[in-house]
Amino acid sequence: MISSRESILAALHARLSALPATALRGEVLPERMPAEGLLILRDGEPGEPDVTLSPLRYHYQHRAEIEAVVQGAAHDAAFDTLTASIGTALAADRTLGGLCDWVEAEAPRPVDLPVEGAASLKAAVIPVVLHYSTADQLA
């Protein structure tokens, strides 16, 4: 049986996989950057839940992270297009098919990373807050 947390993260990864960029989950940065960009979903931290009784429910604001990376001469425009496509994909269904109460991405803080002998990278970590409730902290 798959936990609610895993179901939500898998649905988020599936949503990212539908974008033109290559979407990975929990992987290391590959040696070669895909031309359309790269997204790496990190599971993040569920944090301490708020608890309600009768019925017992644990309410999480789970902070996952999406690492967005592009490379090339026009990396500013490519990065903007990639981050906008993430926002559009999340806004299309804020509940990930009813698996969570709300999904919301925070603004990225991009950085330019020089690469010796190649075009520089533009990258950012995009925090994504997943609001969901479970009846068991391990479910």
The percent of the chain in helix, strand and coil, each rounded to the nearest 5, is 25, 40, 35
Query: Which pLDDT score is estimated for 12?
Result: 98
Instruction: From first to last of the 139 residues of the chain, give the pLDDT tens digit.
Output: 799 999 999 999 999 999 999 999 999 989 889 999 999 999 999 999 999 998 999 999 999 999 999 998 889 999 999 999 999 999 999 999 999 999 999 999 999 988 888 888 999 999 999 999 999 998 8
Tokens of 106: 């925070």
Is residue 55 reached through a cis peptide bond, with omega within 30 degrees of 0 on the bond before it? Answer: yes
Element (H, E) at 69: strand 57-71
Structural contact between residues 126 and 66, judged by C-beta atoms closer than 8 angstroms? yes
Report the distance separating Cα 17 and Cα 66, nearest Å.
12
pTM of the model: 0.93
What is the model's pLDDT at position 116?
A: 82
Domain boundaries, the chain: 4-134
pLDDT of amino acid 119 = 81
3-class secondary structure, 42: strand
Q: What is the pLDDT of residue 139?
A: 80
What is the distance between the alpha carbons of residues 108 and 119, in angstroms, rounded to a whole number? 21
Choices 1.10.3210.10, 3.10.300.10, 3.30.2000.10, 3.40.190.10: CATH for 4-134: 3.30.2000.10
* CA–CA gap between residue 99 and residue 5 (Å, rounded): 9
